[in-house]
Amino acid sequence: MTTQQAVPRIEMTGITKAFGSVVANDSISLRVAPGEVHALLGENGAGKTTLMNILYGLYPPDSGQIRLNGDRVAIHGASEAIRLGIGMVHQHFKLVDTFTVAQNIVLGRERVGAFGILRDAQAVEAVVELSAKFGLRVDPLAVVRDVSVGTQQRVEILKALYRRADVLILDEPTAVLTPQEIDELMDIMRLLVDQGTTIILITHKLREIIAIADRCTVIRRGKVVDTVDVGSATPRSLASAMVGREVLFTVDRKTTEPGDVRLAIDGLVVRNARGLAAVNGASLSVRSGEIVGVAGVDGNGQSELVEALVGVRRVESGRILVDQTDVTGMTPKSVQAHGLASIPEDRQRRGLVLEYSIADNMVMGIHDRAPYSRGGILNEREIHRRAAGLIERFDVRPNDPEYPAGSLSGGNQQKVIIAREVGNDPNVLVAAQPTRGLDVGAIEFVHRALVEQRDRGKAVLLISLDLDEVMNLSDRIAVIYEGKIVGIFERGRVDEHHLGLLMAGGRE
């Protein structure tokens, strides 16, 4: 498979690309042999997507060269990349919701000169043929809006293959998939490689690299650290190459005896923006000294559940109790005053005011209390002092209370939020996707913070799309499906395939 002697299918040399003062790619070189699966590994913000956007013609590099099959090329735009055999599936799919699978696949490449119906029939035929050849099952007539995320991803892949791509760039393709869908994608990738496709796989997940990749290029802060043969790599060696230090994979957790129920959710019904019951009779409790993890596929009511818990979305029926007090329908401020803190899902929109300093963000929510203000006048010195203490304790970088939150890295933004929320010593902590988009170093930090809260007798509700995270951290694991808790298990009493089955709406 990997013939390193052969002319590389792709050779990028000395690629540099800056956005303003950020050097996203700093003289990066990458060689991908024909027919190999080449993983790109790096922390968030390392420059992986930028490098692939350059290969896909979306940005010109500031300097550097690209050779395809040994020939020097300049790739201006995605259509030229596609003509050169390169297809890319982005992190956020770019399909037309209201079109069928087949229409999306041929979009922009429809056979001309025929009537609408005939053209559609041809499209369906082409898609059936293509999906059989590459083992990508899709229903060509299904409307994209109605199909699962896994299927949408297959449609994106087919779209590239329809354009005869023999190089496929997949940007974090497994982030949105269930375990079963991940297994299927791995099978699909193997089939594609058997048919001669070259794959560049961007992922954070070391296990996937070990399972599928031939070689792996590690990028750190815009530079290539190393390219390794995956056969001789371990998750530990890859992780430390990625972050530049040793990484611990397991969080130390004391065995604790959970105490009284601190958070009780009882028959909760919450409507989403479209008026549908996104949370549809969910019941769940979290005790002192335990982490309860909620596993589920995106869009099964997780966001609405969290919004209802923190008081920003109306509860239609059912109750929420914090330490026996009914907080249903209270304002976010009162909920917080009753001891419920939260790490919000969207840290840029809900968690932080990006234009404000770290110090101002850290005091948000309690800025009207003493000693931070008196008689309506803010006490800047106290605010600064509090921030300096939290920055130290939570290792926020840079350690400057006046630094604007919007200029921090994702990991440090998350630290500011956690510092603020945990800094008030809440009894209940609701953590929604607390590590989404963070790198392993920052993830390790967040996980330790959650376990520390648990060990101190707090109740932690963890809502995450990352099943590994839920399984690693939780004392009990609940599965949410279509707004209901469809199963709840003690730690270690359930495997990921069973959870995956429930997450997909299967029966026990």
Taking the complex as a whole, the smallest distance from the CB of residue 53 to Mg ion amounts, in Å, to 9
Distance from C-alpha of 416 to C-alpha of 340, rounded to nearest angstrom = 17
Size of the site for ligand ADP (CB under 6 A): 11
Of 51 and 503, CB closest to ligand ADP: 51
Of 40 and 450, CB closest to Mg ion: 40
Taking the complex as a whole, the smallest distance from the CB of residue 127 to ligand ADP amounts, in Å, to 30
* The length of the chain, given as a count of residues: 508
Segment interacting with Mg ion, rule: CB under 5 A, options 45-53, 302-310, 406-414, 486-494: 45-53
Segment interacting with ligand ADP, rule: CB under 6 A, options 18-26, 175-183, 186-194, 336-344: 18-26
Of 253 and 415, CB closest to ligand ADP: 415
Taking the complex as a whole, the smallest distance from the CB of residue 170 to ligand ADP amounts, in Å, to 13
With H, G, I as helix, E, B as strand and everything else as coil, classify residue 235. Answer: helix
Distance from C-alpha of 205 to C-alpha of 468, rounded to nearest angstrom = 10
Taking the complex as a whole, the smallest distance from the CB of residue 211 to ligand ADP amounts, in Å, to 21
Taking the complex as a whole, the smallest distance from the CB of residue 225 to ligand ADP amounts, in Å, to 13
- Pairing assessment for the beta strands 373-374 and 377-378 based on DSSP bridges: antiparallel
Token pair of 55 as six digits:
């290969």
Residues 35-64 close enough to bind ligand ADP by CB under 6 A: 42, 44-50
Segment interacting with ligand ADP, rule: CB under 6 A, options 19-27, 189-197, 249-257, 269-277: 19-27
Taking the complex as a whole, the smallest distance from the CB of residue 419 to ligand ADP amounts, in Å, to 22
Of 20 and 275, CB closest to ligand ADP: 20
DSSP string of 321-384, one letter each residue:
EETTEE-TT--HHHHHHTTEEEE-S-IIIII--TTSBHHHHHHTTTTTSTTTEETTEE-HHHHH
Of 203 and 342, CB closest to Mg ion: 203
Backbone angles phi, psi at 327, to 5 degrees: -105, 5
- 61, 134, 242 from 65: Cα distances, Å: 8, 32, 25
Residue 50 in contact with Mg ion, rule: CB under 5 A: no
Of 411 and 423, CB closest to ligand ADP: 411
Size of the site for Mg ion (CB under 5 A): 1
Query: Do 40 and 51 form a contact (C-beta atoms < 8 A)?
Result: yes
Distance from C-alpha of 357 to C-alpha of 394, rounded to nearest angstrom = 16
List b or e across 472-505, with b for residues whose CB sees 16 or more CB atoms inside 10 angstroms.
bbbbbbbbbbebbbbbebebeebebebbbbbbbe
Cβ neighbourhood burial of 402 (10 Å; 0-12, 13-18, 19+): exposed
Distance from C-alpha of 92 to C-alpha of 346, rounded to nearest angstrom = 16
Residues 229-288 close enough to bind ligand ADP by CB under 6 A: none
Query: Do 150 and 179 form a contact (C-beta atoms < 8 A)?
Result: no
Cβ neighbourhood burial of 322 (10 Å; 0-12, 13-18, 19+): buried
Query: Do 433 and 464 form a contact (C-beta atoms < 8 A)?
Result: yes
What does 476 interact with, of Mg ion, ligand ADP, none (CB < 5 to 8 A by kind)?
none
What does 46 interact with, of Mg ion, ligand ADP, none (CB < 5 to 8 A by kind)?
ligand ADP
Distance from C-alpha of 475 to C-alpha of 31, rounded to nearest angstrom = 44
Taking the complex as a whole, the smallest distance from the CB of residue 72 to ligand ADP amounts, in Å, to 24
Segment interacting with Mg ion, rule: CB under 5 A, options 48-56, 68-76, 182-190, 249-257: 48-56
Taking the complex as a whole, the smallest distance from the CB of residue 187 to ligand ADP amounts, in Å, to 26
Distance from C-alpha of 301 to C-alpha of 482, rounded to nearest angstrom = 6
Taking the complex as a whole, the smallest distance from the CB of residue 1 to Mg ion amounts, in Å, to 26
DSSP annotation of 147 reads S
Taking the complex as a whole, the smallest distance from the CB of residue 410 to ligand ADP amounts, in Å, to 9
Residue 414 in contact with ligand ADP, rule: CB under 6 A: no
Of 67 and 223, CB closest to Mg ion: 223
Taking the complex as a whole, the smallest distance from the CB of residue 80 to ligand ADP amounts, in Å, to 20
What does 44 interact with, of ligand ADP, Mg ion, none (CB < 5 to 8 A by kind)?
ligand ADP
Token pair of 196 as six digits:
């001669």
Of 19 and 456, CB closest to ligand ADP: 19
Residue 49 in contact with Mg ion, rule: CB under 5 A: yes
What does 22 interact with, of ligand ADP, Mg ion, none (CB < 5 to 8 A by kind)?
ligand ADP
Sheet holding 459-464, edge to edge: 340-343, 428-432, 459-464, 290-295, 476-481, 484-490
Distance from C-alpha of 418 to C-alpha of 363, rounded to nearest angstrom = 12
Angle between helices 116-134 and 149-162 (to 10 degrees): 100
Of 59 and 99, CB closest to ligand ADP: 59
Residue 22 in contact with ligand ADP, rule: CB under 6 A: yes
Residue 24 in contact with ligand ADP, rule: CB under 6 A: yes
What does 249 interact with, of Mg ion, ligand ADP, none (CB < 5 to 8 A by kind)?
none
Binding site residues, Mg ion, CB under 5 A: 49
Binding site residues, ligand ADP, CB under 6 A: 19, 22, 24, 42, 44-50
